[in-house]
């Protein structure tokens, strides 16, 4: 009896313990929230890879006759660091060629404007030379990101191509590029009122500001009642320009030996000589331009003469092949390295405009020889270079049709008073 009572008590005790454990485990657990303070990551302000958060930045412009050494000495930069910067810059940028008016930025320690840490010189709107003068001197060129925007412009010429594009706030570089592309088809010294143009081109932007023309994609130029197309098409990793039939726009000779000048005297058998005061033959074409204007060889060839004579002044003669030679008279000076036997490429500078010899004003007397005879270059049928290679022809035709269709959809801007529109 006693044993049975003890057994019952033990069972009851076990049930009580089990009840307590079960009840306790079903209660929601209380947790203690632990709050950890996380410090926000400080965002660095950087320019040209420089942390600007603890420096004083100043913007300056290069003064006349100011050199890099003069600029750095203003900040008490040690001579040995200036020398190191010059050595390290040698293969990046010639520090002797810093230009008047270009910007540069100084970054100095806070509270001490003479403790220069970095100097950044603006080579161009795109390229910047970054010099570090902290513990170890280092130099690098940083190129800003370029964004290309496709644009169009068109117009009817009333005065000149330059004026027409200027009235539309177009970068003057576009005039230069057009004159280079059409150098073999259009005489830009004889553009007439009423000539027309349409151009599709890419303009470069840095920090949302235009910084120059990248390239002309396609153009249509109506000159002296003839239409001239120019289609940009890359062959062998090189940009070339072709007409609508796939013929290269580049010919054996340029139209003129200098850019953006005027013809002051043409080829004639009877001209009143301004110095000798009598009528005589003038078997050349005179291009008037300021002294020092570069003179270009109109074609590939070999220099056969680079000398001085009483009447011709300083002059250069180029033999292009067995048929053609050209001569450039009255130079102010002959370009460095130009001497008999030297090979030259089309568009290479061979001298500079002057009035040496029997000449009154600054000009180049351009003479064109064919089979040993002086001839009028404007009356010669100049051979073209090779047409587009057959392996590119199908791709070119597809691209050409697309560009010409775009050009046809552009109306000639008769007023020439609106800005360009993006395509």
Q: What percent of the chain has pLDDT over 90?
A: 50
In order of their start, the domains of the chain are 47-143 (3.10.450.350), 147-251+398-422 (3.10.450.350), 262-379 (2.70.70.10)
pLDDT recorded at residue 170: 92
Whether the per-residue pLDDT at 420 is higher than 50: the answer is no
pLDDT recorded at residue 335: 96
Whether the per-residue pLDDT at 271 is higher than 60: the answer is no
Whether the per-residue pLDDT at 79 is higher than 60: the answer is yes
For residue 45, which of 55, 32, 35, 37 has the smallest C-alpha distance? 55
Query: How distant is the alpha carbon of residue 299 from its chain centre?
Result: 24
Q: How confident is the model at residue 1 (pLDDT cuts 50, 70, 90)?
A: low
Q: What CA–CA distance (Å, rounded) separates 113 from 74? A: 10
Judging by beta carbons within 10 Å of its beta carbon (0-12, 13-18, 19+), is residue 11 exposed, middle or buried?
exposed
358 C-beta neighbours (distance < 10 Å), count? 17
Q: How confident is the model at residue 52 (pLDDT cuts 50, 70, 90)?
A: confident
* Higher per-residue confidence, 233 vs 15: 233
Q: Please state the rounded mean pLDDT for residues 191-219.
A: 93
Between 41-55, 170-184, 198-212, the lowest mean confidence (pLDDT) is in 41-55
pLDDT in tens, 309-366: 998 999 999 999 888 899 999 999 999 999 999 999 999 999 999 999 988 889 999 9
Whether the per-residue pLDDT at 372 is higher than 60: the answer is yes
Q: Please state the rounded mean pLDDT for residues 151-176.
A: 90
Tokens at 10, concatenated: 């033990």
Q: Please state the rounded mean pLDDT for residues 58-86.
A: 92
Q: What CA–CA distance (Å, rounded) separates 280 from 55? A: 73
| Cβ proximity of 221 and 182 under 8 Å | yes
Judging by beta carbons within 10 Å of its beta carbon (0-12, 13-18, 19+), is residue 86 exposed, middle or buried?
middle
> Residue 198: which residues within 8 A CB-CB, separation 6 or more?
152, 153, 154, 219, 220, 407, 410, 412
> Which pTM was predicted?
0.64
140 C-beta neighbours (distance < 10 Å), count? 14
Whether the per-residue pLDDT at 193 is higher than 70: the answer is yes
Whether the per-residue pLDDT at 422 is higher than 50: the answer is no
Task: Report how far apart, in Å, the C-alpha atoms of 177 and of each of 181, 241, 374, 393 are.
Answer: 6, 12, 31, 25
Q: What CA–CA distance (Å, rounded) separates 68 from 137? A: 15
Q: How confident is the model at residue 260 (pLDDT cuts 50, 70, 90)?
A: low
Q: What CA–CA distance (Å, rounded) separates 59 from 138? A: 21
Q: What CA–CA distance (Å, rounded) separates 223 from 260? A: 17
| Cβ proximity of 167 and 418 under 8 Å | no
pLDDT in tens, 217-250: 999 999 888 899 999 999 888 889 999 999 888 8
pLDDT in tens, 272-323: 555 555 555 678 889 999 999 999 999 889 999 999 999 899 999 999 988 8
Q: Please state the rounded mean pLDDT for residues 387-410.
A: 94
pLDDT recorded at residue 179: 83
For residue 206, which of 123, 94, 104 has the smallest C-alpha distance? 123
Q: How confident is the model at residue 66 (pLDDT cuts 50, 70, 90)?
A: very high
Q: What percent of the chain has pLDDT over 70?
A: 81
| Cβ proximity of 326 and 370 under 8 Å | no
Name the DSSP class of 403. H
Q: How confident is the model at residue 162 (pLDDT cuts 50, 70, 90)?
A: confident
pLDDT recorded at residue 112: 63
Q: What CA–CA distance (Å, rounded) separates 232 from 213? A: 14
State the pairing for strand pair 147-156/421-422.
antiparallel
Q: Please state the rounded mean pLDDT for residues 378-392.
A: 80
Q: Return mean pLDDT, the chain.
A: 84
């Amino acid at each position: 009896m006693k044993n049975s009572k003890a057994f019952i008590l033990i069972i009851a005790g076990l049930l009580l313990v089990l009840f307590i454990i079960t009840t306790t485990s079903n209660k929601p657990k209380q947790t203690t929230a632990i709050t950890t303070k996380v410090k926000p990551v400080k965002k660095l302000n950087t320019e040209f890879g420089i942390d600007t958060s603890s420096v004083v930045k100043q913007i300056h412009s290069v003064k006349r006759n100011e050199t890099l050494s003069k600029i750095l000495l203003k900040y008490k930069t040690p001579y040995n660091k200036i020398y190191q910067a010059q050595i390290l810059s040698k293969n990046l940028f010639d520090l002797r060629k810093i230009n008047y008016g270009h910007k540069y930025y100084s970054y100095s320690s806070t509270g001490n404007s003479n403790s220069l840490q970095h100097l950044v010189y603006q080579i161009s709107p795109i390229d910047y030379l970054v010099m570090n003068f902290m513990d170890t001197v280092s130099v690098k060129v940083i190129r800003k990101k370029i964004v290309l925007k496709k644009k169009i412009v068109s117009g009817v010429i009333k005065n000149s191509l330059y004026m027409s594009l200027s009235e539309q706030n177009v970068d003057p570089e576009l005039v230069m590029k057009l004159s280079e592309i059409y150098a073999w088809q259009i005489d830009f010294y004889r553009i007439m009122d009423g000539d027309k143009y349409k151009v599709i081109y890419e303009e470069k932007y840095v920090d949302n500001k235009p910084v120059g023309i990248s390239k002309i994609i396609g153009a249509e130029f109506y000159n002296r009642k003839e239409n001239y197309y120019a289609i940009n098409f890359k062959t062998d990793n090189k940009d070339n320009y072709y007409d609508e039939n796939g013929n290269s726009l580049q010919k054996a000779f340029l139209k003129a030996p200098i850019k953006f000048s005027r013809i002051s005297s043409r080829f004639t058998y009877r001209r009143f000589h301004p110095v000798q005061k009598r009528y005589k033959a003038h078997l050349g074409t005179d291009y008037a331009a300021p002294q020092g204007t570069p003179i270009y060889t109109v074609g590939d060839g070999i220099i056969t003469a680079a000398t001085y004579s009483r009447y011709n002044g300083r002059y250069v003669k180029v033999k292009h092949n067995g048929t053609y030679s050209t001569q450039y008279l009255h130079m102010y000076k002959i370009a460095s390295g130009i001497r008999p036997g030297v090979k030259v490429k089309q568009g290479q500078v061979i001298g500079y405009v002057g009035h040496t010899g029997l000449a009154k004003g600054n000009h180049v007397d351009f003479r064109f020889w064919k089979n040993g005879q002086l001839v009028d270059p404007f009356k010669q049928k100049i051979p073209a270079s090779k047409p587009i290679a057959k392996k590119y022809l199908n791709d070119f035709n597809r691209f050409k049709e697309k560009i010409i269709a775009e050009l046809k959809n552009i109306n000639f801007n008769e007023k020439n008073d609106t800005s360009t529109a993006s395509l």
